[in-house]
Amino acid sequence: MRDEVSKMIAAGKTVAQIQAEFKVPAEFAHYTGPARLKAFLNLFYHQLLERGFWP
């Protein structure tokens, strides 16, 4: 999931755009809770910007 977020950052997307467009990978599809996904995407976004991201 972090790889997908890094690709979206490299494409110039904002955290709001990533949260709106992110598609959950099949292996994680059985987890429910959109609020938790939004929190993880926000965390990944800021960690990747802070530490550097890879496309």
Distance CA 53, CA 18 (A): 15
Q: Which residues contact 30 (CB under 8 A, 6 or more apart)?
A: none
Each residue's pLDDT tens digit, 1-55: 888 899 999 999 999 999 999 988 888 778 777 778 889 899 999 999 888 766 5
**Nearest in space to 46 (alpha carbons), one of 11, 18, 23, 24:** 18
- So what's the pLDDT on residue 1? 83
- So what's the pLDDT on residue 8? 92
Query: How many of the other CB atoms lie within 10 Å of CB of 6?
Result: 19
Q: How many structural domains are present in the chain?
A: 1
Dihedral, 19, 20, 24, 28 alpha carbons, nearest 10: 50
28: containing domain: 2-51
